[in-house]
Structures are given as structure tokens and as C-alpha cells.
């Protein structure tokens, strides 16, 4: 018991460890505060949208006005005043920079501080010989740089900001945008559809295996802004891509809203691996400030034998509320969801996944590891649905929760709906704490209490962390340490 | 009659219309309690798909028939009890026909001291003061709108009081028989079981209805167990094929009390058996198991909510479902561990077999945990019969339908083996076998 009290204290001494909490002082182009049709038009104009895009935004906005905020989630927050925020904030750039050299050095410095080099010859910090990673850097509302673009173009891979894609590849965007998450999908996705400012667009042509990791790094900098990005990734027949997403924000006393939409589409034999390391500012120990991370992520396995794999490491945000999902339409398609969510202090998370099995012999696997400590509250909420035609479909779900301290909560709410007798669904969930015997075992072998907790927690998450691309796995392991154990690495 | 917010509140007018001249209408606390039930039901209305805990069980069907409260006075012929072993078992028998106590059919002789078995209607008339401290005390009416509707009526039912330290020598057998007339009728029975400290009892419930005429049985049972008290509770739900059976059981366990419940559901067109247990004293032990066998277009719902309030309590549920044809099964189980309920041990298992391409199962095992020193887990599986096991049996000359019956019987057998009272176990098994012989035939296997 004593050992556990120690662990609890260590964990609680944390919270002031957020090292990405700085603010970049940079000139900003801000749209007026508030939200109305003019703001939607203004954003559209700033982005240089074609007519169809503006129409789509307006359609979404008008629909949004008729919607009510959802209330079923198990997270509590004061009502959001949607009129008290900026919907567009862009660092002032003289012109769209032609090359990386023309970008404001302050921005480059910011990304350097975050450990995201925007220079092409470099690799992610700390890992020698790591493969190259192409980065799309999104700063507040706009994409400021995309690396390795030319190199990728040579093999036909399109990797750019979504605003560029709307201009340069309208046929692809029109075909796929909103096809997985329709504009009327849910309250926050509809809001996003109206006011999204930037995000990444990826198209991998037939038969191409993307030679490097693609990644987007989201940074909220400006006060009082909401970030609404939109990501669209299409893997054409036989294509393969691994995509990473990272995010941070400064420490502020007020909450900021981040309502993104991510759509993935895989055609026959294609595969998308989507990894997220979410490290938005979580707020202070009292629950002041922090990001509201209300994101809609969904992938459609349209083709036969296609695969979508979500991996998420959720350590930041005051509130995380998202369910990366897979719609398994194509026969033999595969959906995966691996998640580690850590909530500390006053953080709240309601996250999980949906696996909708439509095609024959589709299979899905869900591994969710939740760690709750401090006064945090965490919920796994997931749906596995086997539709009538899902012959021979399989699902395996495992949700484990680890509680550290007696003030926190951990909840599991799985929905399992099965309409096909040949489908097989298995679900397991456990809740436990770090056992005194486990701690005793480690300490007996000379590990400090901190090291022991770190070792046990990392072991608990191992199954998920292993699925991350190598350079992110290193990062994520460190992050798990930081979010939980303070000085313990 | 939808109100402003679109809620339907059928049957409320019937409760209000009779409120002035029902037994006990002059007893203030009782009429207040009825009024509270009516108010809450009036406010919530009939649960719909928007109610999270009713999303899988649609009660719209209830609005289609004009169910009238059974008046219970008509003399009707009572069919023989289908459970042979239990029927022959020496027991205290209390029989309700169409929701009303039939003293002429009851067997309540030689009750030991400290035991009271009576009709709720008689108790309200004779000794309402004995009911006041217990009736309606353990029931969260806001969470169970149909229990609120039942509370608005509260005319008859069973009262079982066992004083501290008394062990009942024979099981109590509660028989509810519905013999509908020509028009749809409604029953609102209310049962109350209070076991004093250290008391022990066994309760067997049979819900039987034979006709094709629709009826609506909306029953509520309140069970309260004192410290170290023990109750074994077995329920047969064999309502008629057109019945809607909604049962709400509120259970409160004091320190070291032990409850073992088992429900076998095969009857009715729509059935929901909901149990809400509060483990309020340290060391309480709560076990709830069940089997549901569905065919046709039945909807069989099992909803469980276990609230661990005190430390060191244990709860366990094992549910097995078999669904054929277009039947739909629902299992919703929630274990809620309150802050401070340390050393909780909670376990939940739901397994379902789908036998037909049109059958469906919706499962939601849920954990809500606010204490760290707990051991809670749940498991859920859905699937069909194992093809290899079928092959094994058939390669040894067993016909397909027989092989299916053998495998299904083995599948549900695990849950049956937990039953302590052999006569009950025997009847449950016989009932399962009978269901299999009727439904799992060669024709059905095609």
C-alpha cells in the first residue's frame, strides 16, 4: 500500500511538465471574432475556394444552425460560446513561400523547438538512421510548409495542404470530401465542414507504396482561436501509406476548441496506417485551460482486401472526445484500432472506436489501454456492428483500464450488435490497478518506485506502442513517461 | 397522447382515474407514493429509442393495444402448472390470477413464527403501517419509468416478510397466471420481500400465460436483504406468445447478505427483465444468472445494473442466450463502483448463440469505476454453433437437428449448473429441452 501511495504522489506532482506550452510571437491575420455566414464566406474567400466549395460550406453552416450539441458523452464542460472565438488565424506571410527558406524564421524556430524539423535533410530528433518523414506543418488555421513535396510528386503521390488540393486537384477532392463523414454527420463535424481552414491531403496512386512516412504537425498558437482542420487521405488500388499526426498548443487559462475531421478511403488491396500522438495542452492541475479535442475520424475500407489501421496515443487535451472508426465495406477488409489514453489531473477522455462490418469475411481488432490518475475520468466507448451481410466476419476487442489513485474513474461502454450468425465477436475488458506485488517485485530488484511505475505502465501499453512507426514509438514511450511519472523517463 | 415533448404516457389516465377509490387511498403516505409514481411516469412517459437504456427494446407496440387494467374478479379456470418437479415440491404457494391474489389456490399453512406471506392488497387494507418503512424505499423510479407506472397503480402482489434469524423451511412459490379475456388486459403486480438480519429464504417465481390474446404484465419486485440474510430467487418467464412482460427488480443488500438470482426467459413477444441491485453493506454477494431462448420475432431483454457502494462486495453475472428465427436478444449489464467501494470484485459474462441468419443480439456490458483497488472484468461473445463440433457429432451418426440440440444444451448447461435447488434445476433443464425439441427440428435446420 505504501508503495502505491508513493506512486500516486509522484504522479500527482506532475502536470507542470508540459514542455510545449510556449507561445510564438508572430504577426497574425485574424478574421473577426464570432461565427456567421459572412465569416464562412470570408474564410472561403481567404482560402480562394472555388464556388462549389463555398456552397458546400454554406450548406453545412445552415445545417449546423439547426443542430443541437450532443449531450450523451461522459465528459463535462461549460457550454462553449461559439461566438466568442476566432475561426481564422493565419501567420502573416508576404506571399505563399516558394521554398522553405522563405518561411518566417520564427515559425521554423517554433517547429524546431517542438522537435519537428522542417528542413528536408534532417530526420526526427534522437533517432539515427531513421527513415525520412515528409511533414505538413499546420500553424493555427493554415498550412505553413510541406516538405518533400517534389520528391513525392515524382512517384505520383500527392501530399499537400487541403486548400492546395481544392485548387489543384478538385476532381479528387469533390469525389471524396464528405464521402466518409458527410457534412451533416454530427454537430462538430458539421461545424468543421463550414469553417475548416486547412489540413492535409494525401493521394497515393494505384500500386504505389509511399516510400516515406507522411506526417502533419498541428500547432495552435493564437489565443481564442478554434482549430478546424480537415484531413483527407485516399489510397488507390494496391497503394500503401503510413501517416502520422502530432499536435501541441501553448499553455493558456481558457479552453480552446479543436474540432477536426479526418476521412480515410482505401480501395482494393490498399492500406492506410494512421498514427496519432496527441499532446495538446491538457490544462493545469486544477483543470483550467487546455484544449477541447472533439474530433471526427472515420475510414472507409471501400475495396476488397483493404485495410485501415488507427493507432492513437492520447496524453494531452483537457477533454478528448473521439472515436476513430472503420467502415468495412469491401470483402475481406480489415480494421484495426490501437489506443493508449492517459488522463491525469482534471483531464477527461471519452474515446473508443466503431467497427461497422458490412462486407464478407471482414475482420477487426480493437486494443484499448486506458490509464487514469489524479482526478481524471476516462471512458472507452465503442461499437462493433455485424450487419446482415457480414458473413464470416470477426472481431476481437480488448479494453484494459489501469487506475492509479482512488480519485479517478475508468469506464467501459462497449456496444456489440450482431445480425449475422456466422460472425464472431469477442469482447474482453478488465480494470485493475498497479499491484502491490508488481511494485514489490520491481523494487526488490533495485528499481526505484518511479522506475517501477514507468516500467509497469509501459508494459501495460506495450501492445499498442509497438504498432507505432519506430520514430514515433520512441517519442510515445517518452510521452507516456512524462504524462505519468514526472521525472521518470 | 403525446405531451409537449413528444412523450407518450399510455395507461396513466387509468391509474389516475382509479386513484380515489383504490384500497389505501385514504392512507396518506401510500397515496403520496402512488402520486409520485404517476408524476414521474407522466414526466418521463413511455421509454423510447432515445432513452439510452431502452434503445434496443422498442415499446411502441404497447401504444397499439388498448390494454385495460384486469379487474381480477371474474372466475376463470386455471391451467395446471407446467413445472412438474417444482409443482411437486413442498412449498408455500401464493397464486395470482390476472394480477389478483386467489386465496383459494394458495397453500400457506403452518407458516413458522416470524414469517408473513400475504397479498399486498390485504396488507394495505389490514396493516399498511407494516408496509410504510419498506414499500417503495429501494426503487429508483426515475431510472425505471415503467416501475413508476406500476407504483401509480399498486393494488395487489405478494408480501413476504421473514424476521431476523428465521430460516424458511420450504421455498416460497409465487405463481402468476394470466388467463386473458377477449380484450387486451394489463397487470400491474407489486411484490415486496423483506428479509431480516440473518434470515434465509428461497423464492421461486413462475409467470405463466397461455393464450394468443395480447396482455401487458408490468411487474415490480422490491427485495431487501438484511445483514447476512440469504435469498435464492428463481424465475420462470413463460408468458403467452402475445404478451409484453416488463419486470423491474430492485434489490438492496446489507452487509454480508447474499443473493442468488436466476431467470429463464422463453415466453412473451417482448420481454424485459431488469434488475437494479445496490450492494450497500460491506461484504455483500450478488449473483445474477440467466438463460434466454428466443424464436419467432421475440425480443428478450436482460438489463442489469449493479451498484457497488460498500467495500469488499462481490457481484457475478453469467447470461446465455440462444436466438433462432427473427428473434432478438438484448443484454445490458452495468457494474458501477462508487468512490470508496474498494476491494470490489465484479464479473460479467454474456454469451449468445445465433441460430438463424435473421436473428440478432445486441450486447452492452458496461463498467463505471471510481475506485482503484478493484477487480472488475467483463466478457462478451457472439457466434454460431461450432462447425467442428457439429461435424464431430454428425460423423458419429447423430442427425443434424439432434447434434444442434446437444450442443445448445451444453452451451446453456454451464449456467444451469449453478442452480442449487435440484427440483428447480430439473425443471429448468426440462424446460430448455422442451424448447429445443419444439424449435430445433430438422425442418428448422434446413
Contact assignment for B370 to A388 by CB distance below 8 Å: no
Q: Which residue of A has its CA nearest to B332?
A: A415
In the prediction, which pLDDT does B280 show? Answer: 96
Find the DSSP H helices in A47-161: 51-65, 105-113, 149-154
What is the mean predicted confidence (pLDDT) over A105-123? 66
- Contact residues on chain A for B364, CB-CB shorter than 8 A: 413-416
**Which helix or strand (DSSP H or E) is residue A143 part of?**
strand A142-146
Q: How far is A460 from chain B (nearest CA, A)?
A: 16
pLDDT of residue A129: 46
From chain B, pick out residues whose CB is under 8 angstroms from the CB of A421.
Answer: 354-357, 359, 383-384
Report the distance separating Cα B116 and Cα B118, nearest Å.
6
Of B361, B367, B372, the CB nearest to A406: B372
Residues 402-431 of A with CB under 8 A from B: 403-431
Whether A408 and B372 lie within 8 Å, measured CB to CB? yes
Grid coordinates representing A55 are: 456552397
How would you label A4-27 residue by residue, b for 16+ Cβ within 10 Å and e otherwise?
bebbbebbbebbebbebeeebeee
**Are A424 and A454 a contacting pair, CB within 8 Å?**
no
**B347–chain A nearest CA distance, Å:** 9
Find, in chain A, the residue whose alpha carbon is nearest to that of B349: A428
Answer whether B381 sits within 8 Å of A407, measured CB to CB.
no
For residues A271 and A307, the answer to whether their CB atoms sit within 8 Å is: yes
**Closest partner residue to A421 among B354, B364, B376, by Cβ?**
B354
Distance from CA of A347 to the nearest CA of B (A): 15
CA nearest to B374 within chain A:
A432
Is the CB of A417 less than 8 angstroms away from the CB of B362? yes
Q: Nearest residue of A to residue B338 by CA position?
A: A409
For the beta carbon of residue A343, count every other beta carbon within 10 angstroms: 31
Taking 80 as the threshold, does the pLDDT of residue A184 lie above it?
A: yes
**More reliable by pLDDT, B76 or A280:** A280
Q: What whole-number distance in Å separates Cα of residue B171 and Cα of residue B114? A: 15
Strand A142-146 to A133-139 pairing = antiparallel
Residue A399, pLDDT > 50, answer yes
Task: Find out whether A141 and A227 touch, Cβ atoms under 8 Å.
Answer: yes
**Cα angle for residues A154, A158, A160 (degrees, 5° grid):** 120
Q: Per-residue pLDDT averaged across B32-50, rounded?
A: 90
User: What confidence tens digit (pLDDT) does each residue in A196-234 have?
Assistant: 988 899 999 999 999 888 888 888 888 778 889 899 999
Chain A residues within an 8 Å CB radius of B352: 418
Contact A432 B374 (CB under 8 A): yes
CA of A67 to nearest chain B CA: how many angstroms apart?
Answer: 16
Can you tell me whether residue A173 is helix, strand or coil? helix
Backbone dihedral angles phi then psi of residue B11, each to the nearest 5 degrees: 75, -15
At A126 the pLDDT is 37
Question: Is the CB of A418 less than 8 angstroms away from the CB of B372?
Answer: no
Task: Say if CB A479 and CB A313 are below 8 A apart.
Answer: yes
Examine the pLDDT at B73 and tell me if it is beyond 80.
no
Interface of A with B in 264-283 (CB under 8 A): none
- A chain contacts of residue B363, beta-carbon cutoff 8 Å: 414-418, 427
Angstroms from A35 CA to nearest CA on chain B: 30
Please identify among residues 449-478 of chain A the ones whose CB lies closer than 8 Å to any CB of chain B. none
Q: What is the DSSP string of A326-377?
A: EEE-STT-EEEEEEEEEE-TT-EEEE--EEEE-STT-EEEEEEEEEEETT-E
CB contacts of B362 in chain A (<8 Å) are 415-418
Q: Rounded CA gap, B13 and B32, in Å?
A: 17
- Say whether pLDDT at A343 is over 80: yes
Rounded distance, CA A432 to CA A370, Å?
Answer: 11
Write the residue in A386, A420, A429 that is nearest to B367 by C-beta.
Answer: A429
pLDDT at A123: 43
The answer to whether the CB of B321 falls within 8 A of the CB of B349 is no
Q: Which of A236-250, A468-482, B71-85 has the lowest mean pLDDT?
A: B71-85
Please say if the pLDDT value at position A128 is more than 80. no
Residue of A nearest to B328 (CA): A419
A19-44 per-position pLDDT tens digit? 777 888 777 788 888 899 999 999 99
What is d(CA B233, CA B259) in angstroms, rounded to the nearest whole number? 8
* Low-confidence winner among A131-140, B170-179, B368-377 (lowest mean pLDDT): A131-140
| ipTM of the complex, rounded to two decimals | 0.87
By the CB < 8 Å criterion, does B80 face chain A? Answer: no
Please tell me what DSSP assigns to residue A291: E
Best of B367, B374, B404 to mutate (most A CBs within 10 Å, chain A): B367
Give the mean model confidence (pLDDT) for residues A314-319: 89
User: Does residue A376 carry a pLDDT above 60?
Assistant: yes
> B339: which chain A residues are within 8 Å (Cβ-Cβ)?
406-407
* A chain contacts of residue B302, beta-carbon cutoff 8 Å: none
B-chain residues within 8 Å CB-CB of A413? 364, 366-367
pLDDT class for A6, splitting at 50, 70, 90?
A: low
Is pLDDT above 90 for B433?
Answer: yes
Whether residue B309 has pLDDT greater than 80:
yes
Chain B residues in contact with A72 (beta carbon < 8 A): 52
Residue pairs spanning A and B at CB distance below 8 A: 115
Q: What distances in angstroms separate CA A405 from CA A376, A459, B90, one per listed residue? A: 10, 19, 52
Q: Do B369 and A429 touch (CB under 8 A)?
A: no
pLDDT reported for residue B443: 60
Q: How far is A411 from chain B (nearest CA, A)?
A: 4
CA-based nearest distance A433→chain B, Å: 6
SS3 B131: helix
Judged by a CB distance cut-off of 8 A, whether residue B130 touches chain A is: no
pTM of the model: 0.89
Residue located via cell numbers 521525472 = A487
Torsion angle, alpha carbons of B103, B104, B109, B112, to 10? -10
Burial degree of A188 (CB within 10 A; 0-12, 13-18, 19+): buried
In A, which residues are within 8 Å of B366 by CB distance? Answer: 411-414
Is A405 close to B372, i.e. CB distance below 8 A? yes
Give percent above pLDDT 90 in chain A. 48
At B215, give phi and psi (nearest 5°): -150, 165
Half-sphere exposure of A4 (CA within 13 A, CB side): 15
Task: Scan residues 38-77 of A and list those with Cβ closer than 8 Å to B.
Answer: 72
Name the DSSP class of B338. Answer: -
Determine which of A45-54, A264-273, A385-394 has the lowest per-residue pLDDT on average.
A45-54
Q: What is the rounded average pLDDT of the residues A428-451?
A: 88
On whether any CB of chain A is under 8 Å from the CB of B379, the answer is yes
For B210, counting Cβ atoms within 10 Å of its Cβ (0-12 exposed, 13-18 middle, 19+ buried), the class is middle
- Phi, psi for residue A320 in degrees, rounded to 5: -110, 130
Interface of B with A in 336-365 (CB under 8 A): 339-340, 342, 352, 354-365
CA–CA separation, B417 and B320 (whole Å): 12
Residues 6+ apart with CB under 8 A from A296: A181, A185, A186, A188, A189, A192, A259, A260, A261, A262, A322
What pLDDT shows up at residue A16?
46
- Residues A150-171: tens digit of each pLDDT: 888 999 999 998 989 999 999 9
Higher pLDDT, B310 or A437: B310
Give the whole-number percent of chain B exceeding pLDDT 70.
96
3-state DSSP percent of chain A in helix, strand and coil, to 5? 25, 35, 40
| Ramachandran assignment for B11, one of left (phi > 0), alpha (psi -120 to 50 degrees), beta (any other) | left
Centre a 10 Å sphere on the Cβ of residue A478 and count the other Cβ atoms it contains: 12
Spatial separation of the C-alpha atoms in residues A42 and A135, rounded to whole Å: 28
For A437, other C-beta atoms within 10 Å of its C-beta total 9
pLDDT of residue B254: 97
Instruction: Mark out the alpha helices in B110-249 (DSSP H runs).
Output: 120-126, 128-131, 145-153
| pLDDT score for A132 | 65
Nearest to A260 by CA among A191, A314, A326, A309: A191
Q: How far is CA B412 from CA B143, B293, B405, B432, in A?
A: 31, 10, 11, 9
Q: Do B366 and A403 touch (CB under 8 A)?
A: no
User: pLDDT higher for A449 or B314?
Assistant: B314
A127 has a pLDDT exceeding 60: no
What grid cell was written down for B153? Answer: 397503480
Q: How far apart are CA A361 and CA A348, in angstroms?
A: 36
Whole-number pLDDT of residue A272: 97
How far apart are the CA of A346 and the nearest CA of chain B, in angstroms?
Answer: 14
Higher per-residue confidence, A315 vs B282: B282
First to last CA, chain B: 45
pLDDT band at A130 (very low <50, low <70, confident <90, very high): very low
Task: Identify the pLDDT of residue A122.
Answer: 47
- Res B139 pLDDT > 50: yes
- Residue whose C-alpha cell reads 491538457 in the numeric block: A282
* Closest B-chain CA to A419: B360
pLDDT band at A484 (very low <50, low <70, confident <90, very high): low
Amino acid at each position: 500500500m505504501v508503495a502505491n501511495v508513493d506512486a500516486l504522489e509522484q504522479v500527482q506532482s506532475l502536470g507542470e511538465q508540459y514542455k510545449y506550452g510556449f507561445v510564438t510571437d508572430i504577426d497574425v491575420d485574424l478574421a473577426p471574432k464570432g461565427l456567421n455566414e459572412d465569416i464562412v464566406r470570408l474564410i472561403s474567400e481567404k482560402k480562394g475556394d472555388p464556388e462549389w466549395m463555398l456552397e458546400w460550406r454554406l450548406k453545412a453552416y445552415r445545417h449546423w444552425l439547426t443542430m443541437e450539441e450532443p449531450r450523451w458523452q461522459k465528459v463535462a464542460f461549460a457550454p462553449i460560446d461559439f461566438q466568442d472565438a476566432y475561426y481564422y488565424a493565419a501567420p502573416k506571410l508576404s506571399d505563399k513561400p516558394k521554398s522553405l527558406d522563405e518561411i518566417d524564421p520564427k515559425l521554423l524556430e517554433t517547429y524546431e523547438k517542438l522537435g519537428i524539423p522542417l528542413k528536408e535533410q534532417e530526420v526526427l530528433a534522437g533517432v539515427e538512421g531513421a527513415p525520412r518523414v515528409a511533414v505538413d506543418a499546420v500553424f493555427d488555421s493554415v498550412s505553413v510548409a510541406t516538405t518533400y513535396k517534389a520528391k513525392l510528386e515524382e512517384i505520383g503521390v500527392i501530399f499537400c495542404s487541403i486548400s492546395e488540393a481544392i485548387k489543384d486537384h478538385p476532381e479528387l477532392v469533390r469525389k471524396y470530401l464528405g464521402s466518409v463523414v458527410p457534412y451533416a454527420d454530427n454537430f462538430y463535424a458539421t461545424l468543421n465542414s463550414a469553417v475548416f481552414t486547412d489540413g492535409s491531403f494525401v493521394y497515393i496512386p494505384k500500386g504505389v507504396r509511399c516510400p516515406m512516412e507522411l506526417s502533419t504537425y498541428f500547432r495552435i498558437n493564437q489565443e481564442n482561436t478554434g482549430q478546424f482542420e480537415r484531413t483527407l487521405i485516399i489510397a488507390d488500388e494496391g497503394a500503401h501509406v503510413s501517416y502520422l499526426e502530432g499536435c501541441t498548443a501553448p499553455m493558456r487559462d481558457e479552453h480552446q476548441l479543436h474540432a477536426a475531421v479526418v476521412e480515410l478511403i482505401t480501395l482494393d488491396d490498399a492500406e492506410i496506417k494512421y498514427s496519432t500522438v496527441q499532446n495538446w495542452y491538457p490544462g493545469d492541475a486544477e483543470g483550467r485551460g487546455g484544449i477541447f479535442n472533439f474530433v471526427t475520424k472515420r475510414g472507409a475500407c471501400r475495396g476488397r482486401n483493404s485495410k485501415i489501421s488507427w493507432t492513437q496515443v492520447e496524453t494531452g487535451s483537457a477533454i478528448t472526445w473521439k472515436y476513430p472508426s472503420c467502415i468495412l465495406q469491401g470483402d475481406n477488409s480489415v480494421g484495426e484500432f490501437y489506443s493508449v489514453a492517459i488522463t491525469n489531473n482534471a483531464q477527461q477522455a471519452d474515446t473508443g472506436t466503431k467497427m461497422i462490418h458490412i462486407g464478407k469475411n471482414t475482420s477487426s481488432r480493437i486494443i484499448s489501454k486506458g490509464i487514469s490518475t489524479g482526478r481524471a475520468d476516462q471512458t472507452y466507448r465503442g461499437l462493433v456492428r455485424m450487419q446482415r451481410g457480414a458473413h464470416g466476419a470477426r472481431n476481437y476487442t480488448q479494453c484494459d483500464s489501469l487506475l492509479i489513485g482512488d480519485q479517478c474513474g475508468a469506464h467501459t461502454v462497449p456496444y456489440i450488435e450482431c445480425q449475422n450468425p456466422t460472425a464472431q465477436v469477442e469482447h474482453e475488458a478488465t480494470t485493475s490497478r498497479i499491484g502491490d506485488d508488481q511494485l514489490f517485485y520491481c523494487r526488490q530488484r533495485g528499481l526505484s518506485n518511479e522506475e517501477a511505475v514507468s516500467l509497469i505502465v509501459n508494459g501495460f501499453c506495450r501492445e499498442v506502442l509497438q504498432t507505432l512507426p519506430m520514430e514515433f514509438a520512441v517519442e510515445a514511450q517518452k510521452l507516456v513517461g512524462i504524462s505519468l511519472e514526472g521525472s521518470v523517463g | 397522447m403525446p405531451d409537449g415533448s413528444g412523450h407518450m404516457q399510455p395507461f396513466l389516465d387509468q391509474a389516475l382515474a382509479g386513484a380515489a377509490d383504490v384500497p389505501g387511498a385514504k392512507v396518506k403516505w401510500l397515496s403520496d407514493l402512488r402520486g409520485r409514481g404517476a408524476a414521474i411516469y407522466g414526466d418521463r412517459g413511455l421509454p423510447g429509442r432515445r432513452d439510452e437504456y431502452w434503445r434496443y427494446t422498442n415499446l411502441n407496440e404497447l401504444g397499439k393495444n388498448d390494454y385495460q387494467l384486469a379487474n381480477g374478479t371474474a372466475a376463470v379456470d386455471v391451467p395446471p402448472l407446467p413445472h412438474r418437479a417444482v409443482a411437486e415440491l413442498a412449498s408455500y404457494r401464493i397464486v395470482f390470477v390476472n394480477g389478483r391474489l386467489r386465496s383459494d389456490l394458495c397453500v400457506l399453512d403452518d407458516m413458522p413464527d416470524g414469517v408473513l406471506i400475504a397479498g399486498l392488497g390485504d396488507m394495505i387494507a389490514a396493516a399498511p403501517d407494516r408496509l410504510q418503512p419498506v414499500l417503495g424505499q429501494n426503487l429508483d423510479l426515475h431510472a425505471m419509468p415503467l416501475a413508476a407506472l406500476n407504483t401509480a397503480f399498486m393494488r395487489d402482489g405478494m408480501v413476504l416478510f421473514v424476521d431476523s434469524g428465521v430460516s424458511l423451511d420450504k421455498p416460497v412459490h409465487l405463481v402468476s397466471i394470466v388467463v386473458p379475456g377477449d380484450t387486451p388486459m394489463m397487470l400491474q403486480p407489486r411484490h415486496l420481500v423483506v428479509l431480516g438480519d440473518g434470515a434465509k429464504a428461497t423464492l421461486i417465481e413462475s409467470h405463466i400465460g397461455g393464450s394468443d390474446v395480447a396482455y401487458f404484465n408490468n411487474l415490480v419486485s422490491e427485495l431487501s436483504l438484511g445483514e447476512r440474510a440469504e435469498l435464492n430467487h428463481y424465475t420462470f418467464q413463460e408468458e403467452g406468445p402475445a404478451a409484453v412482460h416488463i419486470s423491474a427488480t430492485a434489490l438492496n443488500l446489507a452487509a454480508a447478505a447474499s443473493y442468488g438470482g436466476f431467470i429463464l426467459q422463453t415466453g412473451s413477444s417482448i420481454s424485459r427483465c431488469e434488475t437494479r441491485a445496490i450492494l450497500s453493506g460491506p461484504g455483500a454477494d450478488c449473483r445474477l444468472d440467466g438463460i434466454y431462448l428466443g424464436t419467432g420475432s421475440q425480443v428478450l431483454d436482460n438489463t442489469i445494473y449493479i451498484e457497488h457502494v460498500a467495500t469488499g462486495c462481490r457481484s457475478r453475472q453469467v447470461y446465455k442466450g440462444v436466438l433462432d428465427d427473427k428473434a432478438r436478444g438484448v443484454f445490458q449489464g452495468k457494474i458501477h463502483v462508487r468512490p470508496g467501494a474498494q476491494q470490489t470484485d465484479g464479473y460479467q459474462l454474456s454469451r449468445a448463440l445465433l441460430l438463424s441468419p435473421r436473428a440478432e443480439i445486441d450486447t452492452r456490458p458496461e463498467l463505471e469505476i471510481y475506485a482503484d483497488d478493484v477487480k472488475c472484468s467483463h466478457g462478451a461473445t457472439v457466434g454460431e454453433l461450432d462447425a467442428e463440433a457439429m461435424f464431430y457429432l454428425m460423423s458419429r451418426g447423430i442427425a443434424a437437428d439432434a447434434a444442434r440440440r446437444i450442443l445448445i444444451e451444453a452451451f446453456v448447461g454451464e449456467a444451469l449448473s449453478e442452480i442449487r435447488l435440484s427440483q428447480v434445476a430439473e425443471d429448468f433443464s426440462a424446460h430448455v429441452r422442451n424448447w429445443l425439441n419444439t424449435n430445433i427440428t430438422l425442418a428448422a435446420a434446413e
